[in-house]
Amino acid sequence: MLARFKDLCLDAADARALGGFWAGILSGSLVDTGDGDGRVDPPTGRSSAEAIWINRVPKPRSVKTRVHLDLWLAEPQPTALLAAGARIVREPDSEIDWWVLADPEGNLFCAVPPGEDAAPGPFELVVDSADAAAQAAWWSGVVGGEVHPSDEGYAKIVGASGFPWDFWIFDTVPERKTVKNRMHWDVDLVDPEPTALIAAGASLLREPDDTVSWWVLADPEGNEFCAFAPHPTT
């Protein structure tokens, strides 16, 4: 294991408005970070890895979201999500039994009718992939956990270090990545530098400098993620 899952980040044209939406539907709280960005903290008692940093960026969303969350609904219909500002992209049909929704900036997420003993809120993170099995195997080598392949074109990781939800899904899609992901994840490194990650196949996009104190990397399919040095122990 080379790292531990840390949290999610979501690009936004209006960080305050988008953060308010996500805080509302996740029953979290929006924290003003004082720099134009924000952070959605999960409800009290939940893992800090469920936090979502909302980062203000100048460019609007231009393509389908390649990284998204799937949520269990609290009720049979996504009424509360629509009232909060989501819109329906696709309703349940003969192929799917969930709703595909978009947040106020067009980022997609899925809303699934309540399951038995399923608590409302996120239960899996989904990443579009060219080769789902290879992606799941690579990330399992980074953060641990077991890989479960499927015959439906996806593979999932269960038990990744620090991962706060049930499943980390890599789903094979025909479209290839063309622009920076609007949503990405952060990891905490085991070692002081990402040398082992780079040796394993990650690409270095940016080193720490006067502006950021972390590394920006990309996985073998180009998905950006940030890597943070371990916290010093006392």
Pairing of strands 38-41, 29-32: antiparallel
Q: What was the pLDDT predicted at 151?
A: 92
Structure pTM? 0.95
Long-range contacts of 31-34 (CB under 8 A, 24+ apart): none
Q: What is the side-by-side strand order in the sheet with 215-218?
A: 29-32, 38-41, 52-56, 3-12, 183-189, 224-228, 215-218, 203-206
54: Cβ contacts below 8 Å, ≥ 6 apart = 9, 10, 12, 15, 18, 19, 22, 37, 38, 39, 40
What the block records as the tokens of 190 is: 């085991």
What the block records as the tokens of 225 is: 């993620």
By residue count, the chain amounts to: 234
- What number of other Cβ atoms are within 10 A of residue 232's Cβ? 6
Q: What is the pLDDT along the chain (234 residues), one digit of tens a residue?
A: 999 999 999 999 999 999 999 999 999 999 999 888 999 999 998 999 999 999 999 988 999 999 999 999 999 999 999 999 999 999 999 999 999 999 999 999 999 999 888 899 999 999 999 999 999 999 999 999 999 999 999 999 999 999 999 999 999 999 999 999 999 999 999 999 999 999 999 999 999 999 999 999 999 999 999 999 998 764
Which of 138, 142, 139 is closest to 3 using CA atoms?
142
- What is the topology classification, in CATH, of domain 3-228? 2,3-Dihydroxybiphenyl 1,2-Dioxygenase; domain 1 (3.10.180)
Kindly list the domain boundaries of the chain, sorted by start residue. 3-228
Long-range contacts of 208-212 (CB under 8 A, 24+ apart): none
